[in-house]
Copies of this chain bind each other. A is one copy, B any other.
Amino acid sequence: MDSSFAYLFGGLDEGQMKKILATKKEIPMKKGQQIFTEGQEANGVYVLRSGAVELMTGLEKDVDLPISLLRNPGDVFGSSALVPPCQYSLSARCVEEGTLFRMGTAALRKLAAEDRDIGCQMMTNLAAHFLDRLKETRQEVKMHFKTLLGSTRS
C-alpha cells in the first residue's frame, strides 16, 4: 500500500498495523454503488484496494460537488467516522468496480482505547489531515474572493 495510506496510519509500527488490519473485512463494490452518504451515522473507515471512488458533497437537490477522486490502492476515506459526532462529512460512490477494506469504527475505537499509542498516533494523524484539507478548502474560498475582487475592479 502506498503513502496515501499514511494519513491515518503513518507512524504506526508493524505490530500495531497487524492489530488494525485484523479488524478489516474485504468487500466488493460495483460501479455506481453508493458506499455512504454525507450526514449518515459513520460506523466504518474504508481503504481502497482496487477500483475508484469519488467523494462529493451535496450542493443542492440532485447536484453534487465533487471533492476528490480516489484511485490509488491504500487511499483511506470515511475517517470522520473516528471523530465526534461520528457522521460522514462527504458522500462516497464507486466509479470503477473494485474492492475495499472496511474497518468497523467500534473495533478501531476499542483498539485505540486498549493501546493508547495507536489512539494518540491515529488522532494526531487525523488532526493533521483535517487541518490540511481545511487549508486547501480555504484556498478555494480565497480563489472565489479573488475572482470577485477582480470583477469589481474591472
Contact = CB atoms under 8 A, between A and B. Distances in A.
B116 A57 contact: no
Contact of A116 (B67, B82, B117): B117
A124 interface: yes
Interface string A96-139: 00000000000000001000110110011011101101110110
| Copies of this chain, tallied across the complex | 2
A89 interface: yes
A144 B116 CA distance: 42
Contact of A137 (B116, B127, B134, B149): B134
Contacts of A22: none
Interface in A63-80: 63, 65, 67, 80
> Which has the most chain B C-beta neighbours within 10 Å: A83, A89, A134, A135?
A134
B59 A146 contact: yes
A127 B126 CA distance: 6
Interface of A: 57, 59-60, 63, 65, 67, 80, 82-84, 89, 112, 116-117, 119-120, 123-124, 126-128, 130-131, 133-135, 137-138, 140-142, 144-146, 149
Given A116-B120, A123-B127, A134-B137, 10 more contacts: A59-B146, A82-B127, A83-B124, A84-B124, A84-B128, A89-B135, A89-B138, A116-B119, A137-B138, A140-B141
